[in-house]
Chains A and B, each alone.
Chain A
């Protein structure tokens, strides 16, 4: 069965430091996509970044990058130069690309940026 694991329930990071949020996944399907979402205290889920299983390069979006290690089945989110506004819950999710519907979600990591 497909599964997403986020092992860090919470993290404290000093402002301006880089932070890595861990995500490992389990699937037997060779074709899948991995997503990271941010959920601030307001509640809305905000899409951050995507990595496809066949993508040759690690995805980047501004200060966000994805450290994709396919053999280890990990897709860690890296936030460079953290800001106070980065404080939020972060969720890793996976979609089987043969399915148009299902996203499998991790339990989330609560990130708090300290000034």
Chain B
């Protein structure tokens, strides 16, 4: 089974802290994604990566950065956490190419609260 693992289920951080959210996948997928999920807004793409050391901004990259030093690991960084970054964060991975129906596989999510 494909497995995408996020390092924490729940996190509470203080305003101004630097926060690291880690994601690891075990299926050798080239593409990895970080989404933010808020009620009534669905999932919004923060950043994605299509290869090691490669990254692309999604729809809402402001206040975030990412790191992909190894193929299996994709980290989301909140440089200086703010209360408006309190949210559920979902990591996903997907193989490159394949048929159009190739789905993305998700981690269990990290619920981040910034106080």
Chain B contact residues, CB within 8 Å of chain A = 9, 31, 33, 40-45, 48, 50, 56, 58, 88, 90, 92, 96-97, 100-101, 103-109, 111
* Residues of chain A at the chain B interface (Cβ within 8 Å): 4, 9, 31, 33, 35, 37, 42-47, 50, 52, 91, 93, 95, 97, 100-103, 105-108
Q: How far is the CA of A33 from the CA of B101 in the complex (A)?
A: 7
B35: nearest residue on chain A (CB-CB)? A105
Number of inter-chain CB pairs below 8 Å: 57
Is there contact, CB below 8 Å, between B42 and A107? yes
The answer to whether A100 and B42 touch (CB under 8 A), given A43-B88, A44-B109, A45-B106, is: no
Inter-chain contact B100/A107, CB cutoff 8 Å? no
CA distance A103 to B40 in the complex (A): 17
14 new A-B pairs (CB below 8 Å) besides A91-B42, A100-B31? A37-B106, A43-B109, A44-B107, A44-B109, A45-B92, A47-B103, A47-B105, A52-B101, A101-B31, A101-B56, A103-B45, A105-B43, A107-B42, A108-B42
Complexed CA–CA distance, A102 and B33 (Å): 9
Q: Which residues of A contact B111 (CB under 8 A)?
A: 43
Complex formed: what's the CA distance from A107 to B88 in Å? Answer: 14
Cα of A29 to Cα of B9 in the assembled complex, Å: 37
Docked CA distance A108–B105 (Å)? 18
Residues of A within 8 A of B103 (CB): 35, 47, 50
- Give the distance in Å from the alpha carbon of A46 to the alpha carbon of B2 in the complex: 12
Cα of A108 to Cα of B45 in the assembled complex, Å: 15
Q: How far is the CB of B86 from chain A (nearest CB, A)?
A: 15
